[in-house]
Amino acid sequence: MPLTIAQLLDTKKVLLCVGTGGVGKTTLSAALGMAAALRGRRVLVLTVDPARRLANALGLQAFDEHVQRIYLPSDPANGRAVTMDASMLDVKRTFDRVVGRYAKSEQSARRILEHPFYVQASTALAGSQEYMATERLYECATCGDWDLVVLDTPPAEHALDFLDAPRRLIDLFDSPAFRRVIAPTSRLKTGVFRSGSLVMRGLQRFTSVEMFSNLLEFFGQLAETFDGFVERARQVQALLTGPDAAFVLVSACDRMSTEQAVSLYAQLREQRMDPAAWLVNRVLAVDVALADDSVDLGQALGPQVAAMAAALGVDTSQARVLADSIAAVVRSLGHMAVADAAAVQRAQAAVGTALTVVAVPRRDEEPYNLKELSSIAQALAPAHAPAAAAGA
């Protein structure tokens, strides 16, 4: 049997919410974190680019990398204070820490950090955000300050780019060919990189020799950190594929969103990662029987509408027209509920009994305070403090 949302919150050390953009992933990541905190766990919600509305809902002026403590509505059962921590990924600062950790000396680290190419590499290098998200996740999951870290995964062209970042980095930095090219900067004066060589003449069409020399010099300095990068990437992979981590798929109710979530599910399994739950967000909680076209709602509502109009002293001659308009709106809501229920059924059919599928009710708007967010958290997993949660 798949674990319920409550069981995942009680037993896992890392939960990663994955899904395409615009499906409410950040809000549900925060709600999952709050639900776990209300169940007695020490929780950090780590996000990448939270909406301003979510920051307001959490009572924060702004998100940044500094861990900020949020005081949640008190547990009515015992009046205990409940807190949750939140932080936003800062790619540059995380990259700085990684360089400082793996450089051979403070002087080496300073040379790298002060190199003109470093700022560009640490913020705009392809895959840097994805890799640093996994690096920051590992830092937080293994430092001992929290029982559970919930990661709102980075937006990317492909929703699993960040999961593949450690492998890509291993493939690049551990490549003998790459290391041979960048290691000895003296090769700029010899071999294929000597002045006037065919390679250098070709490169001059795109960049100056000086700029290329500086680039190779930078990578030559950075090379002393490669072994550390590769080792940490392997540790991250072990965490993401191990028993302490689980993935929560998030989708909306439209067919495209559902199909993309099915694809994510398959890719996670291919990479030996554990998709454990699927949250189908924004499901309209309306009785699907309202979509029954065989019932004349206008006729059924007519007398009530006429009685209301008479009680208000309003002309009752148009009561049936108004009743028909109300019936059309109600029936439209019923059809929307049928479509949303079908989306939940498609999700369940796609995964069978392999993981928990949860319908998250649609809200008129995104939560704007802790009370609103708490209602979502309680719907996902009721609050209590199980004995297993302490120090899990």
pLDDT averaged over the chain? 82
Percent of residues, the chain, with pLDDT higher than 90: 39
**Distant-in-sequence, close-in-space partners of 252: CB < 8 Å, separation ≥ 6:** 22, 23, 24, 280, 281, 282, 343
Q: Where in the chain are the domains? A: 5-168+228-284+362-389, 288-340
Give the span between the Cα atoms of 133 and 258, in whole angstroms.
Answer: 25
Please list the residues that pair with 283 across neighbouring strands: 361
Taking only the tens place, the pLDDT of each residue in 87-113 is 988 888 888 998 999 999 999 999 899
Residue 216 has pLDDT above 60, yes or no: yes
Binning the chain into helix, strand and coil, the percentages to the nearest 5 are 55, 10, 30
What DSSP assignment string belongs to 200-263? HHHHTTTS-HHHHHHHHHHHHHHGGGHHHHHHHHHHHHHHHHSTTEEEEEEE-SSHHHHHHHHH
Within 13 Å of residue 13, how many CA atoms lie on the same side as its CB?
A: 18
Find the mean pLDDT for residues 79-88. 86
Nearest residue to 99 via CA among 250, 222, 251: 222
Taking only the tens place, the pLDDT of each residue in 25-50 is 989 999 999 999 999 999 999 987 76
Please list the residues that pair with 70 across neighbouring strands: 84
Taking only the tens place, the pLDDT of each residue in 335-374 is 899 999 999 999 999 999 999 999 999 998 888 889 999 9
pTM: 0.82
Residue that is written with structure tokens 């919410």 in the block: 17
Give the span between the Cα atoms of 284 and 291, in whole angstroms.
Answer: 13
Residue 276 has pLDDT above 90, yes or no: yes
Residue 205 has pLDDT above 80, yes or no: no
pLDDT, residue 186, reads: 44
Residue type, position 303, single letter:
P
Find the mean pLDDT for residues 252-256. 92
Give the span between the Cα atoms of 36 and 129, in whole angstroms.
Answer: 27
Treating both helix axes as pointing N-terminal to C-terminal, what angle do 209-222 and 106-113 enclose, rounded to 10 degrees? Answer: 150
Three-class secondary structure of residue 282 per DSSP? strand
User: Could you tell me the two tokens for 14?
Assistant: 């890392």
Taking only the tens place, the pLDDT of each residue in 316-328 is 778 878 888 888 8
pLDDT band at 251; cut points 50, 70, 90 = very high
Residue type, position 217, single letter:
E
Cβ atoms of 93 and 118 closer than 8 Å: no
CATH, range 5-168+228-284+362-389: 3.40.50.300
